[in-house]
Amino acid sequence: MESIIEATGKNDLGLDHDGIHQLANEHGSSFYVLNVNKLRGNYRKIDTAFKSRYENFIIGYSYKTNYLPYLCKELSNLGAYAEVVSRLEYDLAIRIGEDPMRIIFNGPLKTMDDITYALNNKSIINIDSLYEIDFVKEFALSNPDIEVSIGLRVNFDISQNGVSALQEGYKLSRFGICVNNGNLKHALTELRTIKNIRIVGLHGHFSTKNRSLESYKIITQNLCMLAKENILDSLEYIDVGGGIYGELPESYNTNVPTFDDYAETICGILNKEFDGLEKKPLLILEPGVAMVANVFLFIAEVIESKKIRDEYFVLVDGSVHNVKPTMHKNNLPMRIVRKNPDIDTVKQSFNIVGYTCMEKDYLAFEIKDRLPMKDDYIIFENVGAYTIVFNPPFIKERPGIVAMNHTEFTTVRRKETIKQFFNEEIYIF
């Protein structure tokens, strides 16, 4: 809670108040900054941790976490495949120029048309439910000359000593094809009735509470075992999904597994399970949060600091939706960039609140620092995951996004206008 850091001189933007003010003149009094160098660093660190331990490795970047086109393209250039969970995301990957063979198509909802399109494109497809099997069979039957490769997302128990490892404590995951009730066997039998279908991979993404190494041990071990038991002859990949921790801000002061720890656990199991195999299967990791959370900042101008009874409320040109769409109560790491850093005021407690008309629009709670003043800026850090994709167009247009590449700043999403907000192609006036 007391993690706020004065940024009177240079901050990680390398800008003082004047510099930020200049950007604000161009982009509006609130906007996001994407730190491109840090994004490259995240990609390189994850890639190196795994590749140094298991050569046949790729990263499939989880689009849904943040599908800013510029960011997806940058990751693609670095070497990441596109991991998409809807036709919208699939089409975005095509739109940014991704090679369809480097798209991994996951997700619980796919139509016959989606599957036909992706199979014709030779994308990697993991089917999530039994209904998709009919689509794959239909495609294979009407295209007997095409060798149809397909992966299966599988669902098994990953609880530890009877305790659920899943987010929110869910007892079961709702995704994938259930191993325990025999559905996997059924799916394999069904797909094998068609000669030109090959089952080439298994996928096991689980959203766990603590993203622990133990969970990855269970997931990887199960995937290897199921692959060896059922599809060893045609096996091309093991996809362990996403869900790993990224590098957390120092102020969080918590110990979480590093990229090396995850790689050691996951690659260790693959190396052991496929020891002696001439061509080891491809290992796919699908990071989302770990890749992008710490590469975005949100900058908002302070409009006023006001007092209600004994409490201070700092109003900014921003909303909780811009920084924490899930509205969790933890404060993000943040900095105040003061217009007049030398004015000496006493530290006190204040909340940072937003422009919407909801009582719960708090960007931060009970900060203890010198009270921010009008025309100061507040920088919220670590806002890259689920903000750009989730913040609803509510009450105000969406802010712009600026990419910072070394010392260069370029617009990668313009500030929205009323014309785009109420798009006349879809709204009837």
Which residue of the chain is nearest ligand PLP when measured via CB? 288
Stretch binding ligand PLP (CB under 6 A), from 1-9, 27-35, 57-65, 322-330: 57-65
Give min distance, CB of 309 to ligand PLP, in A. Answer: 41
Helix or strand holding residue 47 (H, E):
helix 36-51
79 three-state secondary structure: coil
Give min distance, CB of 260 to ligand PLP, in A. Answer: 17
Neighbours of 105 (CB within 10 A): 27
Binding mask 101-120 for ligand PLP (x = CB under 6 A): -----x--------------
Of 385 and 401, nearer to ligand PLP (C-beta) is 385
Q: Which parts of 168-187 interact with ligand PLP (CB under 6 A)? A: none
Of 104 and 299, nearer to ligand PLP (C-beta) is 104
- Residue 399 CA to residue 155 CA, distance in Å, equals 39
- Residue 201 CA to residue 240 CA, distance in Å, equals 11
Give min distance, CB of 90 to ligand PLP, in A. Answer: 13
Of 124 and 289, nearer to ligand PLP (C-beta) is 289
Given a contact cutoff of 8 angstroms between Cβ atoms, the answer to whether 13 and 404 are in contact is yes
DSSP letter at 283 equals E
Q: What share of the chain is helix, strand, coil (3-state, %, to 5)?
A: 30, 25, 45
Give min distance, CB of 93 to ligand PLP, in A. Answer: 14
Considering only 151, 176, 201, 242, the residue that binds ligand PLP (CB under 6 A) is: 242
- The three-point CA angle 244-158-216 to 5° equals 30
Single-letter amino acid code for the residue at 399: P
Of 136 and 292, nearer to ligand PLP (C-beta) is 292
Give min distance, CB of 386 to ligand PLP, in A. Answer: 8
- Residue 239 CA to residue 256 CA, distance in Å, equals 22
Give min distance, CB of 174 to ligand PLP, in A. Answer: 12
Q: Which residue has the tokens 């260790």?
A: 268
Of 201 and 354, nearer to ligand PLP (C-beta) is 201
- Residue 146 CA to residue 69 CA, distance in Å, equals 32
DSSP letter at 293 equals G
Q: Which parts of 274-293 interact with ligand PLP (CB under 6 A)? A: 286-290
Considering only 151, 176, 201, 241, the residue that binds ligand PLP (CB under 6 A) is: 241
Give min distance, CB of 140 to ligand PLP, in A. Answer: 24
Considering only 83, 98, 114, 301, the residue that binds ligand PLP (CB under 6 A) is: 83
129 near ligand PLP, judged by CB under 6 A: no
Considering only 17, 27, 53, 64, the residue that binds ligand PLP (CB under 6 A) is: 64
Report CA 362 to chain centroid distance, whole Å.
23
47 near ligand PLP, judged by CB under 6 A: no
Closest CA to 397 of 424, 423, 383, 415: 415
Give min distance, CB of 374 to ligand PLP, in A. Answer: 37
Residue 385, CA atoms < 13 Å, CB-side half-sphere = 18
DSSP string, 178-229: ESTTSHHHHHHHHHHTSTTEEEEEEE----BSS--HHHHHHHHHHHHHHHHH
Considering only 15, 80, 85, 165, the residue that binds ligand PLP (CB under 6 A) is: 85
Q: Which parts of 195-234 interact with ligand PLP (CB under 6 A)? A: 205
Of 201 and 241, nearer to ligand PLP (C-beta) is 241
Of 43 and 377, nearer to ligand PLP (C-beta) is 43
- Helix residue ranges, H only, 52-86: 69-78
For residue 66, CA distances in Å to 69, 295, 383 come to 9, 11, 10
243 near ligand PLP, judged by CB under 6 A: yes
401 near ligand PLP, judged by CB under 6 A: no
- Residue 309 CA to residue 317 CA, distance in Å, equals 23
62 near ligand PLP, judged by CB under 6 A: yes
Could you list the residues that contact ligand PLP (CB under 6 A)? Answer: 62, 64-65, 83, 85, 106, 205, 241-243, 286-290
